[in-house]
Amino acid sequence: MSAAPEGPSPRVAILGTGSMGGAILSGLLADEATRRPVRVTTRSEATAAALVSDAVVASSSERDPSANSRAVTEAEVVILGVKPVGTVALAAEIADAVPAGAVVVSVAAGITTAAIESALPAGTAVVRAMPNTPSTVGRGVTGLARGAAVTDDQLDSVARVLATVGSVHVVPEDRIDALTSISGSGPAYVFLLIDALAAAGVARGLSPELSAALAAETFAGSSALLAASDVDARELRRRVTSPGGTTAKAVEVFEQRDIAGIFDAATAAAAARAAEMSRS
C-alpha cells in the first residue's frame, strides 16, 4: 500500500504533538478531506497553546490531568506521539476512554504492538507506525504493522492519516526493525552522504557554500529523476557511467571500498539495535 485510500479522513486525536505528532497534524490540516477539528495534547501549557487554531483543539496534560482521555472520546484514530519511554503508560492512561472500534497508533520506536495492547482493553486495535523525518515536509516514508485485532478498514483509516505526510507501506511486524534500518534511519545516511560529498568538494578546491549546494541539489535532482523515470536506480547509474569516463573512475573507487558491504553492515547494525530496543 503506497497510495492514500480514498474517502474522508477519520476523526483523529494526537496525544503528544511534538516533532512527529506535529508533522502528522500539519499533514492532516493540509488535507481537504480531514474532518476537523483535530484534537491534540501536549504536556506543557505553552506548547498546547501554540497549536490552538480554528481547526485544532489543543490541551495540556500538565494543566488538565484528564486532557489525554478527553481528547480521545470521539476519535476513530488515536495517535500516541510521545517518546517511547512514555508510550505504554500513555496507553494505560487512556485505556478506559478509547471508544470501541477506534484504532490506537503508536509511532514510538522499539515499542511492540503487544506491549501497547497489554495496556488497553482486550481486543483493542493497535497499529505500530514507523515514520521518518521527511514527514515534516510531507515527503515521509511510513511503515505500518498491524496488531492482533486490527480490521482492514481500521488499517485503511490509519494509512489514510499517515498518507497525508508521505508514502505508506504495510509490513508484518517482524519486518519493522528491517524497515527502520532502511527508511527510519535512512535520512541520516543520506545526510551523511551529502555531507561527505560536500566535504570532498571542498577538498577539490570549491568553497564550502558552493560545495554544500552542489551536493544537496545533486541528491535532490537525482531523486526527482529517479521518481520520474521508468527504470531503477541501478540502470540510471549505469546510464551516467560512460566506460572509461570520470564517473566510472569514481564508481570503481566506491566498489573497491565495498560500498554495498558498508550499507549491508550499517543496516544490520541498525536493525539489531532496533530489535534490542524492542526487547528491553
Residues that bind ligand NAP (CB under 6 A): 15-21, 41-44, 47, 61, 68, 81-84, 86-87, 90, 107-109, 130-133, 184
Comparing CB distances to ligand NAP, the nearer of 150 and 274 is 274
Nearest to ligand NAP by Cβ — which residue? 18
Q: How far is the CB of 109 from ligand NAP (least distance, A)?
A: 4
Our CB check for ligand NAP shows the closer of 141 and 194 to be 141
Residue 90: CB minimum distance to ligand NAP, A: 6
Distance between CA atoms of residues 73 and 64, nearest Å: 15
CB 58 within 8 A of CB 36: no
Cα 158 from Cα 151, distance rounded (Å): 11
Q: How far is the CB of 180 from ligand NAP (least distance, A)?
A: 8
Shortest Å distance, C-beta 40 to ligand NAP: 8
- Beta carbon of residue 111, minimum distance to ligand NAP (angstroms, whole number): 7
**For ligand NAP, which is the closer residue by CB, 44 or 207?**
44
User: Smallest distance from the beta carbon of 93 to ligand NAP, in angstroms?
Assistant: 7
Judging by DSSP bridges, how do beta strands 56-60 and 38-42 pair with one another?
parallel
Nearer to ligand NAP, 63 or 238 (CB): 63
Cβ closest to ligand NAP, residue 31 vs residue 64: 64
Closer to ligand NAP by CB, 46 or 262: give it: 46
Comparison of 23 and 102: residue with beta carbon closer to ligand NAP: 23
Q: Tell the smallest beta-carbon distance from residue 10 to ligand NAP (Å).
A: 20
